[in-house]
């Protein structure tokens, strides 16, 4: 029978915060204590405040879902730029400018494969734009605490 060996966990060294940041956090804590002294009798409230503060600081969490395809992102950006610079040109002309730039080996592909790749790129762009319209834009983070100034 094997005896499980105890492994000691090393405490990670915590880096100290700059003095100016420590002073700012201490000032924020004092202001919260004076403004909301009656609410801090509950430990849960302290944890909620700490979580709220953490959520307001960068780095912001990633958006949910898979990251977008770079070719689709580039197609949307380039399409918008061409639409602004050439408002008189039809949509077909704009897309024809994008295909050789965004589809790898576009010139060497047979015509039927070019068409398939063109259709795929247009569909992916359309899906991304529809998804943007469906998803309500919410401002999750505000970068300032109005009461702390």
pLDDT digits (tens, 9 = 90+) for 75-118: 999 999 999 999 999 999 999 999 999 999 999 999 999 999 99
CB contact set of 68 (below 8 Å; sequence gap of 6+): 128
Distances (CA, A) of 59 to 28, 55, 65, 93: 20, 9, 18, 41
With 0.85 as the threshold, say if the pTM is over it: no
Q: Name 148's Cβ contacts closer than 8 Å, sequence gap at least 6.
A: 27, 28, 31
Check whether 144 has a pLDDT greater than 60: no
Write the pLDDT tens digit of every residue in 57-68. Answer: 888 777 777 888
Q: Is 114 exposed, middle or buried (0-12, 13-18, 19+ CB in 10 A)?
A: middle
Neighbours of 36 (CB within 10 A): 12
At 64 the pLDDT is 75
| 149/144 Cα distance (integer angstroms) | 9
């Amino acid at each position: 029978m094997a005896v499980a060996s105890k492994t000691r966990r090393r405490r990670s060294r915590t880096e100290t915060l700059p003095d100016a940041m420590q002073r700012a956090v201490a000032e924020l804590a004092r202001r919260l204590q004076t403004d909301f002294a009656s609410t801090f009798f509950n430990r849960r409230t302290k944890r909620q405040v700490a979580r709220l503060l953490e959520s307001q600081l960068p780095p912001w969490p990633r958006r949910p879902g898979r990251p977008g395809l770079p070719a689709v992102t580039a197609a949307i950006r380039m399409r918008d730029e061409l639409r602004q610079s050439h408002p008189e040109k039809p949509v077909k002309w704009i897309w024809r400018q994008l295909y050789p730039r965004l589809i790898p080996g576009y010139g060497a592909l047979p015509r039927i494969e070019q068409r398939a790749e063109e259709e795929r790129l247009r569909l992916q762009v359309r899906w991304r734009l529809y998804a943007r319209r469906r998803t309500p834009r919410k401002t999750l983070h505000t970068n300032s605490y109005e009461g702390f100034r």
